[in-house]
Structure 1
């Protein structure tokens, strides 16, 4: 008999100190044991080694910080963070790696990687429960403000190489900024595109990860951007041969605000990465781009034959030769009873986790393609439901008590309780109650 695998979540102690105010999102650094949590007008940087705060970014925004993004492809001592705020601006911050370096030059990343509790001795840290020094805020330098949006900035994201930054806003626009600084540490950004085709607030921007094949046979620039909106749609943008950013696809199917969009973290290397979207309609959808052989990609007038049928709602500004055909290939099992605010797709396990207004954390697993051949529910057994090639493997209700959960993310474990430091994964949720909560993922085989 084939063995079966079950998964459950176990709550670990919350990161300290608790923020005691609404927290919007927690963003892990791609390589270092750091977590940036956005709340009020500040960002608290937590150490994932000690599960406690180390430093705080304040003084840059007049209203709440909604989200943050780490600039990729930088050495650890050159940390750079962008913050997006309800004050209609985005700001860039840099860590001064020359301050408070690791003793004896051990490791990389400066003071942010120090096992701070050990340095504090038996005193137990500061009175607020944190382990940060009072002058740690001075180590973050507010270097640049990006202005242009007319209303709240809801999301910000760097392209894989860090050359571009995308921001989006309640003003229905998406701005693309390019790093034109002459040196790595010089912050000089210019606007290269303002995209105005969404008909409602733009809630999220996400760049396709840097994986082979994402350039679609080299017809476009290397970077691909997805945006989601209050207008119930998702749009895909690419840079054409003339350097113009154009919409190449409109993904329609949700019946409510699309709160966010994320790319497949570890895709099949022979296929273009899939897209996962989540919405106020309580559904989570997987989208796949239809691809053809390179030899059949163009014919006649140079237009791609896969787009003969067109896509509903695509504006006239979309060039027919650049259109892409995306289809919804799965709807994850129905779990949530209210808006799905956040979802995350693991690059390690392929598991998807979601959360939202109902306070539920749900974890889903994809079934191998040969295990299902239809989009209808195939079976229901306890908490496990298969639907469109996915099954629900576990769900936790009231994850933050009666409070809404605003964000969930997969995160590598670096704390002493990790069995494989820097490899083992955990989930981190961020809620209206100001609690940043880690969850151990326990897998059992029977």
Structure 2
């Protein structure tokens, strides 16, 4: 049966690790945490069982670094910090990184940073409930072109569409908002409601027509984008903007808040990380009827995980659009007794079976997804 196999433990952070992200152009993993640093890790063996920290980025932030993101060309890193700023780091010809810009404007903690696919835009969000969009100029010049303040509570995460200049944000107000540009002005084109508590994480699938969200209500929700002329979208033709409809809700797979979700753009598997110390891997199945097992064996510890309360709720009447997901791999105590703060699939086809995770134990772990 499929399983997650632990390949490596990356130790070096002296506080909890909040986020990990893979370089889109090389086999480098970036991690950030409460020790105010970003660490860059590269493998030293072909088996990927040994990794070394090649760079430590520090000195630019005075408080926890909550989020880190690579630019699409892999030459820059953006960091979001509780000191209310975002940092831009550039790599020189010697492979060293320098903070070349500090973006100020948020009133307090910056919770997340994200680059658009084109690399021409950067989004940040924060505890001040706002979403900022920055235009990337020449010579490391960043200009704020829009500040959106429609969330009523903390904005926890921002993420760009994989191929369009379309932005999604998740919030403590239990909603997800979709942001679009219209004649140099950004606006909220849709608000996704349905979660009963904080939405901590969101991710698009490869096509960008689906969005998954993870929440403090212990559920994962799958949303589909409908064009204005589609009846199934339950919208009138007079509306210009596409609307997003919740197609499926997974519940009972985590016992506490789900902090992170990652949707592989290569093989389509979904990984989730939670405050219950669990990592789950989900796979979409074609059958409209799913039999959820009473329990499943944890590959690492051998313990049995009860699925008696796991449910799948489909919200669509069309069988063609039915979304069904089942757990194919599970790890309990993935970071000991510590929360799992982040999970991220590797973006390349060569290493698409690699999953990185970050936890409150201050350790980064590299997992290999084995199909058999």
Report the TM range for the smaller structure's normalisation.
Answer: 0.7 to 0.9
Offset, 1:345: 0.8
Q: Which residue is 1:314 aligned to?
A: none
Give the one of 30, 34, 41 matched to 1:36.
30
Residue in structure 1 matched with residue 338 of structure 2 by the alignment: 403
Could you tell me which residue of structure 2 aligns to residue 142 of structure 1? Answer: 99
Alpha-carbon separation, structure 1, partners of 2:352 and 2:154? 37
Q: Aligned partners of 2:176, 2:155: CA distance in 1, in Å?
A: 9
1:424–1:190: structure 2 CA closer, same or farther, 3 Å change rule?
closer
1:167 paired to 2:143 = no
CA distance in 2, matches of 1:246, 1:259: 22
| Aligned residue in 1 for 2:167 | 225
Match of 1:372 in 2: 288
1:180 and 1:189 in contact (8 A); partners too: yes
Q: Deviations over 1:161-201 (max 9, x none)?
A: 011100000000000000132xxxx1111111000000000
Q: Distance in 1 between matches of 2:292 and 2:22?
A: 36
Deviation at 1:381, TM superposition (A): 5.3
Q: Does 1:205 align with 2:158?
A: yes
Distance, in Å, in 2 between the alignment partners of 1:322 and 1:190 is: 29
Q: Distance in 1 between matches of 2:242 and 2:371?
A: 39
Aligned to 2:327: 392
Task: Report how many residues are paired.
Answer: 343
> In 1, are the aligned partners of 2:213 and 2:221 still within 8 Å (CA)?
yes
Q: Verify: 1:329 aligned to 2:247, yes or no.
A: yes
Of Structure 1 and Structure 2, the greater strand share is in 2
Q: Distance in 1 between matches of 2:329 and 2:97?
A: 39
Q: Is the 8 A contact 2:228 2:243 kept in 1?
A: no
Q: Confirm or deny: 8 A CA contact 2:228 2:239 kept in the other structure.
A: no
Q: Which residue of 2 aligns with 1:316?
A: none
Distance 2:246 2:291 in 1: 18
Name the structure 2 match of 1:427.
Answer: 355
Counterpart of 1:155 (choices 99, 112, 127) is: 112
Match of 1:417? none
What displacement does 1:237 show? 0.7
Partner of 1:14: 9
Gap regions ≥5 residues in structure 2: 45-49, 297-306, 315-323
1:122-160 per-position Cα deviation (integer Å, ceiling 9, x unaligned): xxxxxxxxxxxxxxxxx2111110000001000000110
What CA deviation, in whole Å up to 9, does each residue of 1:209-243 have, x standing for no partner?
01xxxxxxxxxxx4100000000000001001x22
Deviation at 1:281, TM superposition (A): 0.3
2:19 — aligned with what?
25
Q: Is the 8 A contact 1:41 1:63 kept in 2?
A: yes
The separation in 2 between residues aligned to 1:28 and 1:379, in whole angstroms, is 32
**Aligned residue number for residue 317 of structure 2:** none
Question: How many Å apart are 1:46 and its aligned residue?
Answer: 0.7
Change (3 A) 1:176 1:330: same
Matches within 5 A, 1:164-313: 164-181=121-138, 186-210=139-163, 222-240=164-182, 242-264=183-205, 266-267=206-207, 273-291=209-227, 307-308=235-236
The answer on 1:340 being equivalent to 2:258 is yes
Shift of 1:426: 1.3
Contact persistence 1:386–1:392 (CA under 8 A): no
Give the structure-1-normalised TM-score: 0.73
RMSD in angstroms over aligned alpha carbons? 2.2
2-structure distance, mates of 1:405, 1:191: 33
Query: Radius of gyration: which is bigger?
Result: 1
Q: Say which of 73, 89, 96 aligns to 2:85.
A: 89
- Give 1:424 deviation, angstroms: 4.5
Summarize the Cα distance change of 1:143–1:335 in structure 2 as closer, same or farther, 3 Å threshold. same
* Cα deviation 1:303-352 (Å, max 9, x = unaligned): xx96349xxxxxxxxxx844432111111252111110001111222110
CA distance in 2, matches of 1:12, 1:202: 34
Partner SS, residue 232 of structure 1: coil
Q: Deviations over 1:371-401 (max 9, x none)?
A: 107xxx6543543877341111122111111
Q: 1:55 & 1:243 partners in 2: Cα distance?
A: 38
Among residues 250, 256, 269, which one is paired with 1:351 in the alignment?
269
Change (3 A) 1:372 1:81: same
Partner of 1:62: 62
Retained in 2: the 8 A contact 1:204–1:228?
yes
**What's 2:76 paired with?**
80
